[in-house]
Amino acid sequence: MSISEEKVLDVLVYVYEEFLCSDEESSLERLQKKLIEAGFEDASIKHAISWLDDLSNASSDWQEGTTANPAGGISSFRVFSEMEEQHFTRDALGFLHLLCQNGLLDRLSREWVIERALALQPDTRLDVEQLQWVVLFVLYHYPGRERQFESFEGLFFSEDVQMMH
């Protein structure tokens, strides 16, 4: 049975709103229980938790400095593969480029946004709204990018984000 990508994103949004934004510590078991109580399917919950776990593991790599020049310059030019281009709407690709131009994403965080977006919805096109949630999660987990996270979070939850794309 195929897991609905929209449902996985719904789980991630719920996790962000109910757990990441609160000061309350939550165990994995408690999180899973709350998600089941909220009516999410087990398969979607497992996929979302795995997605977050992979992102958390990546943040450990970022912290350890396993990549060369992690801060990177934003002047680099990214050529998308045909498969990547098909995975994002034109507006979503433009939005991603805009975030890089404005310094909210560096080269490494941009690559993780792309990787996490592909892992979230391997068979469907991501639109701007869906991409925004992926960006929010990547910046939340990216050490040293707290200012960018706060800027993006403020923008994301304001009406101005609709005017950017």
Judged by DSSP in three states, 81 sits in coil
Closest CA to 86 of 62, 51, 110, 121: 121
Residue 43 belongs to what domain range? 5-164
Using CA atoms, how far residue 67 sits from 59, 60, 64, 113, 142, in Å, is 11, 11, 9, 16, 13
Question: Other C-beta atoms within 10 Å of 115: how many?
Answer: 15
Amino acid occupying residue 102: N
The answer to whether the predicted template modeling score (pTM) of the entire model surpasses 0.85 is no
Under 8 Å between Cβ of 95 and 131: yes
Residue 121: the pLDDT is: 72
CA-CA distance, 97 to 74, in Å (whole number)?
10
Token digits of residue 59: 């943040």
Residue 61 is encoded by which pair of tokens? 């790599």
Q: Which tokens is 103 given? A: 């310094």
| Number of structural domains in the chain | 1
Mean pLDDT per 10-residue section of the chain, whose length is 165 residues: 64 84 71 91 91 81 49 64 91 93 88 91 86 89 78 70 47
Listed in sequence order, the residues at least 6 apart from 142 whose beta carbon sits closer than 8 Å to its beta carbon are 59, 62, 108, 109, 112, 148, 149
Task: Count the alpha carbons within 13 Å of 6 in the hemisphere toward its beta carbon.
Answer: 1
The DSSP result for 129-143, as a single string, is HHHHHHHHHHHHHST
What is the C-alpha separation between 146 and 142, in angstroms, rounded?
Answer: 8
